[in-house]
Amino acid sequence: MTTDSKPISDQMLIDGEWCGALSGDRIEVENPARRTIIATVPRARTEDVDAAVRAADKAFEQWRKVAPRDRGKLLHEIAVVLESQIEEMAQAIASETGNAIRTQARPEATAAADIFRYFSGLASELKGEQIPVGDNMLSYSRREPIGVVGAIIPWNAPVLLAALKIAPALCAGNTMVLKTAEDAPLGVLLLARACNEVLPRGTLNVLCGYGHECGAALAEHPQVRKLSFTGSTNVGKSIMRAAADRIAPVSLELGGKSPSIVFPDANEDWVVDGIVSAMRFTRQSQSCTAGSRLLLHDDIFEPFLEKLAAKTAALKMGDPLDEATDMGALINKKQYDKVCNYIDEGLSLPGARLITGGKPDSEGPFSKGYYTRPTIFADASNDWRLAREEIFGPVLVAIRWRDEDEVIKMANDSHYGLAAFVWSRDIGQALRTAHQVEAGWVQVNQGIGQLPGQSYGGVKQSGLGREYSLESMLDSFTHKKSVTVKLDIPNPTSQNKPNT
């Protein structure tokens, strides 16, 4: 690693104040496309977590009392501030994550503003119900906030994922301590700045730090009443264990190994484009919803792959800040080594046939950053490690199938169940398949990103709970309290009548 001339020195947000860690320690933030240090941020540990949680707990007393429509108005103001900062935000995201500015970082900054706008309009929907139990009793329910939410996010879409936790949690009247990912804190700190311009102090606190220190301390903090985590399945399990100690509710958005099922009538260019999009090649496939298992019908296997190889090879890999770039660099050395290991494994497997891509450049401009090209292995078997484990890099495996029952069995033979994609002109066949696939989200004939309003999340080891929707805000960030009232209490005058 080298150091850029002057790395910016960012602070974190506790109780409305920008501050460093109590220890004074800092974490370096690297631009993964250039391998330069672009910033340093505080390295928060237990004592900083404690200060942030105490601030959020104190702020909760007031924030919960703010009328929902007024909370909604403030979220709307944040959306307006975010909209005025899209370019600054996009530059920060592209620089720290390696995600290309045109295809990824700018759309992410825009989507974060949209998320705040969407939830700002939902504040009045925090409604309860009245239950008909007869004329002698009134029974109703209230949606109440839970308290301090501890949120932990990863680096792959940091600003979007932060927005998806902050906006619904605060809309529902909770306060929050959010831990940024150590690899990508800068965009989220800009988001925190926008929030802090608008919100009362302590309502949102944003920490920087490592998972095993800051993240674990947040997950274990007794005053954190709800945990919302996005990241790897293994860390998700540790969050759930920490929550079990105090029976705190958890929401988990975890990994995936999502199938993309192509029927024989779908050997067409638009499907090939759809597979490229579903595989999220332009974010180096660092996406939990990546359609990374291509289940391709035997009849069209070779011609389809030929087209797919040509399309992926045409993607322009380059500096994330260059507008012409389609696809940037992987996040860090650890992920780069992990992805390279999978590519090496594919190259050494006797049955695997490399269609495009392969080992990354060891010299030339792309060797200066964590660049890996789209790589496709054909003739894969569904039980290979390459077909079972989440690679989180641009490595796609193509598996042959002949029979509809067989392909559904293969699709479901995974401990994950996040997303799935089905491609066919026969809508009956496509929907039959969609209904049988074990996944939280199935797309038919498209491979786009999540939309506000859609309840999104996984089954099996891909997670617990949903995000992105009104229903998810109610389920994840409120408690339902029932109040039952006796309506026919005896009249005091008749009861207290003295005996005569």
Nearest to 159 by CA among 137, 128, 141, 186: 186
Tell which one of 232, 412, 429, 446 touches ligand NAI (CB under 6 A): 232
Q: How many residues does the chain have?
A: 500
Structure tokens at 370: 């964590």
CB-CB contact of 468 with 450 (8 Å):
yes
CB-CB contact of 257 with 292 (8 Å):
yes
Q: Is 214 an active-site residue? A: no
Binding site partner of 156, from ligand NAI, Mg ion, none, Cβ cut-off 5-8 A by kind: ligand NAI
Residue 57 in contact with Mg ion, rule: CB under 5 A: no
Tell which one of 183, 253, 390, 467 touches Mg ion (CB under 5 A): 183
Residue 156 in contact with ligand NAI, rule: CB under 6 A: yes
**Residues 195, 151: Cα–Cα separation, whole Å:** 16
Which H helix or E strand runs over 293? strand 293-297
- List the x/- string, 242-271, binding to ligand NAI by CB under 6 A: -----------xxx----------------
Of 24-32, 69-77, 130-138, 231-239, the window that binds ligand NAI (rule: CB under 6 A) is 231-239
Residue 30 in contact with Mg ion, rule: CB under 5 A: yes
Q: Which is nearer to ligand NAI, 154 or 291 (CB)?
A: 154
DSSP annotation of 496 reads S
Residues 415-474 interacting with Mg ion (rule: CB under 5 A):
none
Of 82-90, 194-202, 211-219, 257-265, the window that binds ligand NAI (rule: CB under 6 A) is 211-219
Q: What share of the chain is helix, strand, coil (3-state, %, to 5)?
A: 40, 20, 35
Structure tokens at 253: 């958005």
- List the x/- string, 19-48, binding to ligand NAI by CB under 6 A: ------------------------------
Residue 288 in contact with ligand NAI, rule: CB under 6 A: yes
Please report how close the Cβ of residue 396 comes to ligand NAI at its closest, in angstroms.
15
**Residues 178, 49: Cα–Cα separation, whole Å:** 10
CB-CB contact of 484 with 139 (8 Å):
yes
Residues 135-154 interacting with ligand NAI (rule: CB under 6 A):
152-154
Of 66-74, 84-92, 178-186, 300-308, the window that binds Mg ion (rule: CB under 5 A) is 178-186
Tell which one of 33, 52, 219, 396 touches ligand NAI (CB under 6 A): 219
Computed on alpha carbons and rounded to an integer, the radius of gyration of the chain in Å comes to 25
Q: Which is nearer to ligand NAI, 256 or 369 (CB)?
A: 256
- Give the count of residues interacting with Mg ion (CB under 5 A): 3
**Residues 426, 331: Cα–Cα separation, whole Å:** 39
Q: What are phi and psi of 477, to 5 degrees?
A: -125, 15
Buried b / exposed e across 362-396, counting CB within 10 Å, b at 16+? eeeebebbbbbbbbbbbebebebebbbbbbbbbbb
Please report how close the Cβ of residue 30 comes to Mg ion at its closest, in angstroms.
4
The catalytic position among 253, 390, 438, 467 is 253
Residues 278-297 interacting with Mg ion (rule: CB under 5 A):
none
**Residues 309, 306: Cα–Cα separation, whole Å:** 5
DSSP annotation of 121 reads T
> Which residue stretches of 121-157 are H helix?
none
DSSP output for 25-67: -EEEEEETTTTEEEEEEE---HHHHHHHHHHHHHHHHHHTTS-
Q: Is 19 an active-site residue? A: no
Please report how close the Cβ of residue 296 comes to ligand NAI at its closest, in angstroms.
23
Residue 220 in contact with ligand NAI, rule: CB under 6 A: no
Residues that bind ligand NAI (CB under 6 A): 152-156, 179, 181-182, 210-212, 215-216, 219, 230-232, 235, 238, 253-255, 288, 335, 390, 392
Residues that bind Mg ion (CB under 5 A): 30, 32, 183
